[in-house]
């Protein structure tokens, strides 16, 4: 089946965009200082917090990469397995959330500084920027896919429009405006996916017909992947989530521990429902559209459904993309402001100056994100790079802060350097050795270095 553009779907996207811009402007008027902008005044209730956790985590990485690309390229079981890292990550965060709130920091880099010193903070800030700008970049391309499907304009032009919208919404009101709009977007996501799944199954002729029109290996455990290759796709999201600054900031912005716990339970339940649903829709798209870009699989189904149903799904997809792009762009800009500008360039900056600089860095990093996406062949490839840079460079050192009292400055900093260098050496040539993702090597290297260096230097420095 060929994809036929349906310009009527664009009205749904326009309506969503107008709503988000309007709400963003409204909530931006409530921003009075940097804590309002970055942590929403630490007043998020359980419902809004659930929505912003869900919307931030489930972005273009799920609907263009992740579950979508895995289902389309390798099969339904690999797509289902993509939910496991998220479930594990949420459960670990549930355990350490009270300690995250107790730190009361704006950035993960600040937490690392408490244990490993000021150099670790600067290094972490650089690593986070490397990862988050990559994550923002494929949100922009995901929006380009949406406009291509609806209007037929090129993905490149659509990506530019997506970049402008993401940058504007992140700049206007920070987390104070992002969080409530995230909650609305989360409702759209759940509604859109719930309506789409049964509808597309009927259009595709039922399960038996779907299965008959996909490659036979798409019904096996790992598709065309070896088990070790499959593991290479599962681990990056786990190691990102375990120390994701976006999630830490949201947990720190809750109105209390009880709100945080309720929100995380709601997030877990929603992900158990949403992740397999995305996989099933993309798997159905493989039956209907055998020769499209894997990143377009879920969104391509919108053009064969009734316009209203397709419009709801496309709006949900837009919500996934915009909210995640806003959040990661805001978070990366926060790192530049507080870990580099405020720490080394202008130590005496006022709260107002820091707020203004954060907005400027949102724009600068947003432009950089747009440039980066042109260097990666697929959304899934840039997703694996971004997740692994963070997961190997940041996560082992962060988890050691919470779970290993003996860890010291030498071990933490060495682990961060080893993790990010291994990732970059593996990923930058874009021709991965053995056709394996870097996470399989970068994370073990980071963990081993953390342990060995800490033990070898334990008599040279006192632990925190």
Give the CA angle between residues 61, 316, 323 to the nearest 5°. Answer: 55
Alpha helices (runs of H) in 255-347, residue ranges in sequence order: 257-288, 297-300, 307-335
pLDDT at position 427 is 75
Handedness of CA 7, 9, 13, 19 (dihedral sign): positive
pLDDT at position 464 is 43
**What predicted TM-score, i.e. pTM, was given to this entire model?**
0.82
Cα distances (Å, whole numbers) of residue 339 to 105, 335, 336, 390: 12, 5, 6, 16
- Per-residue pLDDT for 70 more than 80? yes
User: pLDDT by residue (tens digit) across 321-352?
Assistant: 887 888 888 888 888 888 888 877 888 888 78
The Cβ of residue 253 has, within 10 Å, a number of other Cβ atoms equal to: 24
Average per-residue pLDDT for the chain: 85
CB-CB contact of 385 with 424 (8 Å) = no
Give the CA angle between residues 333, 368, 158 to the nearest 5°. Answer: 110
Q: What share of the chain is helix, strand, coil (3-state, %, to 5)?
A: 80, 0, 20
Cβ-based burial of 347 (10 A; exposed 0-12, middle 13-18, buried ≥19):
exposed
User: pLDDT by residue (tens digit) across 265-300?
Assistant: 999 999 999 999 999 999 999 999 998 888 888 888
| E strand segments, 111-235 | none
How many whole angstroms separate alpha carbon 248 and alpha carbon 228?
A: 30
pLDDT at position 400 is 94
Cβ-based burial of 460 (10 A; exposed 0-12, middle 13-18, buried ≥19):
exposed
Return the biggest CA–CA distance within the chain: 68
Name the CA dihedral angle for 419, 102, 342, 38, rounded to a multiple of 10 degrees. Answer: 100
Q: Which carries the bigger pLDDT value, residue 148 or residue 460?
A: 148
pLDDT at position 316 is 81
pLDDT at position 37 is 65
CB-CB contact of 75 with 285 (8 Å) = no
Q: Which carries the bigger pLDDT value, residue 445 or residue 372?
A: 445
Contacts of 153 (CB under 8 A, 6+ apart): 147
203 confidence band (pLDDT: 50, 70, 90): very high
Contacts of 210 (CB under 8 A, 6+ apart): 201, 204, 283, 284, 287
For the chain, the C-alpha Rg in angstroms (whole number) is 21
364: tokens are 């600068």
User: pLDDT by residue (tens digit) across 26-58?
Assistant: 777 766 666 666 655 566 778 888 888 888 788
Q: Closest Cα partner for 68 from 278, 262, 367, 292?
A: 278
pLDDT at position 463 is 44
CB-CB contact of 60 with 138 (8 Å) = yes
Contacts of 110 (CB under 8 A, 6+ apart): 103, 121, 338, 339
How many whole angstroms separate alpha carbon 188 and alpha carbon 15?
A: 13
* Among the ranges given (196-200, 357-361, 434-438), the one the predictor scored with the smallest mean pLDDT: 434-438
Q: What is the mean pLDDT of residues 202-208?
A: 94
456 confidence band (pLDDT: 50, 70, 90): very high
DSSP bridge partners of 44? 254
């Amino acid at each position: 089946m060929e994809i036929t553009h349906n310009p009527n779907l664009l009205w749904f996207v326009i309506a969503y965009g107008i709503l988000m811009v309007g709400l963003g402007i409204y909530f931006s008027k409530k921003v009075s200082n940097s804590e309002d902008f970055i942590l929403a005044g630490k007043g998020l209730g359980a419902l809004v917090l659930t929505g912003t956790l869900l919307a931030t985590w489930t972005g273009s990485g799920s609907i263009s990469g992740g579950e979508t690309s895995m289902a389309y390229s390798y099969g339904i079981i690999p797509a289902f397995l993509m939910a496991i890292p998220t479930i594990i990550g949420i459960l670990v965060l549930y355990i350490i959330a009270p300690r995250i709130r107790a730190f009361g920091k704006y950035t993960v880099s600040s937490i690392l500084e408490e244990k490993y010193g000021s150099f670790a903070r600067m290094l972490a800030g650089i690593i986070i920027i490397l990862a988050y700008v990559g994550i923002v970049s494929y949100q922009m391309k995901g929006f380009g896919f949406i406009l291509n499907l609806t209007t037929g304009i090129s993905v490149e032009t659509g990506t530019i429009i997506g970049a402008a919208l993401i940058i504007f919404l992140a700049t206007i009101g920070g987390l104070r405006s992002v969080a409530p709009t995230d909650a609305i977007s989360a409702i759209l996501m759940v509604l859109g996916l719930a309506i789409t799944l049964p509808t597309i199954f009927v259009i595709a002729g039922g399960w038996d017909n779907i299965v008959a029109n996909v490659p036979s290996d798409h019904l096996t455990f790992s598709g065309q992947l070896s088990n070790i290759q499959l593991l290479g796709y599962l681990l990056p999201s786990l190691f990102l989530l375990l120390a994701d600054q976006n999630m830490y900031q949201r947990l720190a912005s809750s109105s209390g521990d009880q709100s945080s716990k309720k929100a995380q339970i709601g997030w877990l339940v929603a992900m158990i429902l949403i992740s397999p649903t995305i996989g099933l829709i993309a798997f159905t798209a493989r039956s209907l559209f055998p020769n499209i870009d894997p990143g377009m699989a879920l969104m391509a189904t919108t053009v064969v459904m009734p316009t209203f149903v397709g419009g709801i799904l496309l709006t949900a997809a837009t919500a996934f993309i915009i909210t995640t792009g806003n959040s990661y762009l805001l978070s990366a800009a926060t790192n530049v402001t507080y870990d580099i500008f405020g720490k080394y360039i202008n130590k005496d900056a006022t709260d107002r100056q820091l707020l203004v600089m954060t907005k400027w860095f949102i724009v600068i990093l947003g432009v950089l994100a747009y440039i980066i996406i042109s260097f990666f062949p697929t959304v899934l490839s840039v997703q694996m790079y971004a997740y692994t840079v963070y997961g190997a460079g940041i996560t082992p050192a962060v988890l050691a802060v919470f779970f290993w009292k003996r860890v010291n400055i030498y071990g933490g900093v060495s682990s961060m350097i080893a993790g990010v260098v291994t990732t970059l050496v593996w990923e930058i040539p874009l021709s991965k050795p053995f056709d394996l993702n870097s996470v399989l090597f970068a994370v073990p290297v980071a963990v081993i270095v953390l342990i060995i260096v800490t033990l070898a230097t334990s008599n040279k420095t006192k632990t925190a």
